[in-house]
Amino acid sequence: MSDVYVVGTDMIKFGRFPDRKVEDIGAEAALLALADAGLTIGDMQAVYSGNLGQAGAGVGQRILRQIGQTGVPVVNVANACATGATAFREGWMAIKAGVYDMVLAVGCEQMGKGLLGGAGGGDGISTEGLLGSGTMPSVFAHVGLEHARSYGTTFEQFAKVSVKNHHHSTLNPKAMYQIETPLEEVMGAEMISYPNTKLMCSVNVDGSAAAVLCSEKKARELGLLGRAVRVRASALASDPYTQHNLAAMDFNAVTKLAAKTAYEMAGLGPDEVDLIELHDCFATAEIVHYENLGLCGPGGAGRMIDTGETNLGGRIPVNVSGGLLSKGHPLGATGIANIYEITTHLRGEAGKRQVEGARIGLTHVVGAGSACAVHILEKV
């Protein structure tokens, strides 16, 4: 089976674009990624389009109406917040299988402000706030407090994640926000669901990102290997049964499963990874994923954030893009935006936030319900 390469990728600066159509937002990133590769939509043999809010409304085809109706197969993908990464993985699989040599993966999303989620309706009345809470801030508050239950993790430690990622975003012109948020400001912000304050919740934004995937043979033939990045592993998991996952969504077992699969596929371990973009939809989530991704042993995450190991310049920088907390989280685009971020570092093109000497990077997203996708990328 051929190795698969990312030969072009880009994202738009995340923001709020209520006056634009979602396909226009997606088309912009698609054209940027194609231009980055020096290719056109006419070179693509298939398109994998990730969008959640309008799943079922043919967003992939609508993007092609904006940039060229080439008649190639379009696969519209929806997989909760793992939508973009799943679209990317579908493209990777098609090339792995030898069906295509070159495909486009694009993710886009247009979001409103406010709370996501909410407990499912009962037979006749909403059960949100009656039988507990299913809003995303509450779901991930439970995730954080389960960690606190086991290891005594503190409100302050969770809050430090937000301080770090907001600081990183000041170095990323494509992030929604570039604003420092000192610890007292994060902890003093409006409490949404303890321990997540408003500044510990990711930003609902509009955005898009895209990547051109290519077989080794084709990349060589077209002379595209110079700035290419190799996909060393692509893993996707659904939540395996755990005692609590039917009552409280599980993101731990599903991440451990996807991470194990990805490390085995890549033939490497977490110690060899130079930077990580992981799913910090809430500050509490980042802490648990340090352990789920094997960056430290059980209970080591609080120490990692306290000692700055995951800061830019630290032992294993995490979310130097600013993460979902500050770069923003346009659901269908997020997974591919992570691919863009890692690729940019492996190319040595990340400017002020460059992780020096980066050779291996890992992306991670989870989706409620639950899904987890992990990709490992390598500098060629």
Partner 1 sequence: METPADPAALKPAVSCIKTDSAGKPYLEGHKCSACGEVFMETRRGCPKCFAVGTLSPVKLSDKGKLYNWTVVYRNFPGVPVPFVSAIVDLEGGGTLKGNLIEVEPDPAKLKFDMPVKVVFGDAGRTDKAGNHYLAYFFAPEAA
> Which CB, 236 or 249, lies closer to partner 1?
249
> Which CB, 69 or 126, lies closer to partner 1?
126
Q: How far is the CB of 273 from partner 1 (least distance, A)?
A: 30
Binding of residue 256 to partner 1 (CB under 8 A): no
Tokens linked to 98: 């030898």
Helix (H, G, I), strand (E, B) or coil at 131: coil
Binding of residue 220 to partner 1 (CB under 8 A): no
Rounded to an integer, what distance in angstroms lies between the CA atom of residue 286 and that of residue 175? 18
Q: How far is the CB of 292 from partner 1 (least distance, A)?
A: 17
Binding of residue 42 to partner 1 (CB under 8 A): no
Cross-strand bridge partners of residue 207: 109
Whether 267 and 184 have beta carbons less than 8 Å apart is answered as: no
Q: Which of 128, 274, 280, 291 lies at the binding interface for partner 1 (CB under 8 A)?
A: 128
Binding of residue 99 to partner 1 (CB under 8 A): no
Q: Which of 75, 248, 268, 380 lies at the binding interface for partner 1 (CB under 8 A)?
A: 248
Whether 13 and 208 have beta carbons less than 8 Å apart is answered as: no
> Which CB, 102 or 203, lies closer to partner 1?
203
The enclosing H or E element of 211 equals strand 207-215
Among the listed ranges 23-31, 165-173, 239-247, 251-259, the one in contact with partner 1 (CB under 8 A) is 239-247
| Residue in 64, 169, 63, 41 with CA at minimum distance from that of residue 108 | 63
Among the listed ranges 91-99, 126-134, 223-231, 294-302, the one in contact with partner 1 (CB under 8 A) is 126-134
Among the listed ranges 49-57, 130-138, 250-258, 273-281, the one in contact with partner 1 (CB under 8 A) is 130-138
Q: Which of 73, 98, 132, 188 lies at the binding interface for partner 1 (CB under 8 A)?
A: 132
How is residue 170 annotated by DSSP? T
Annotated catalytic residues are 81, 329
Rounded to an integer, what distance in angstroms lies between the CA atom of residue 359 and that of residue 377? 8
| Residue in 11, 3, 61, 80 with CA at minimum distance from that of residue 265 | 3
| Residue in 378, 342, 346, 344 with CA at minimum distance from that of residue 363 | 342
> Which CB, 35 or 246, lies closer to partner 1?
246
Burial of 18 (0-12, 13-18, 19+ CB in 10 A): exposed
Binding of residue 162 to partner 1 (CB under 8 A): no
Binding of residue 188 to partner 1 (CB under 8 A): no
Rounded to an integer, what distance in angstroms lies between the CA atom of residue 195 and that of residue 198? 10
Among the listed ranges 34-42, 52-60, 64-72, 118-126, the one in contact with partner 1 (CB under 8 A) is 118-126
| Residue in 333, 75, 320 with CA at minimum distance from that of residue 206 | 333
Q: What angle do CA 319, 201, 59 make, to 5 degrees?
A: 80
Among the listed ranges 114-122, 298-306, 320-328, 339-347, the one in contact with partner 1 (CB under 8 A) is 114-122
> Which CB, 71 or 243, lies closer to partner 1?
243
Binding site for partner 1 (CB under 8 A): 115, 118-119, 122-135, 137-138, 141-142, 145-146, 149, 190-195, 241, 243-244, 246-248
